[in-house]
Amino acid sequence: MPSQKKILLKEEYTQLLEENSDFILTRYSGLNVEKISDLRRQILAKGAKYKVIKNNIFKLALKGRDDITDFQC
C-alpha cells in the first residue's frame, strides 16, 4: 500500500500536468551543484520551473492521459 506522502506527491504531479501543457523531462545525473544552480537560474529567467520528481510516481500521474505518449525512465 502506498504511503500518504506518495499519494500526495502523485496528486501534486497530476495537478502540475493539468495546469501545464508543456514540460521537458531531463536527467540531471553528472551535473554538479553549480551547473544545476546555473540551469535553474536560466530556466527561472524564462518564467519556467525546474523540479526534481520521483519517476515511478510521475508515471502513475501520467496514466490515463491521452496527450502523453512514449514516456520512459
Q: Which amino acid is at 37?
A: S
Residue 73, in any domain of the structure: no
Rounded to whole angstroms, how far apart are CA atoms 35 and 32? 5
> Residue 61's pLDDT is what?
87
- For the packed helices 4-19 and 55-62, what is the interaxial angle rounded to 10 degrees? 60
How many domains does one find in the chain? 1
The answer to whether residue 3 scores a pLDDT higher than 70 is yes
Residue 29, in any domain of the structure: yes
Q: Which amino acid is at 12?
A: E
pLDDT tens profile 38-57: 999 999 999 998 888 888 88
Helices (H), the chain: 4-19, 33-45, 55-62
The answer to whether residue 64 scores a pLDDT higher than 80 is no
> Residue 45's pLDDT is what?
97
Residue 72, in any domain of the structure: no
Chain centroid to Cα 46, Å, comes to 17
> Residue 35's pLDDT is what?
93
Q: Which domain holds residue 55?
A: 4-62
pTM of full prediction above 0.85: no
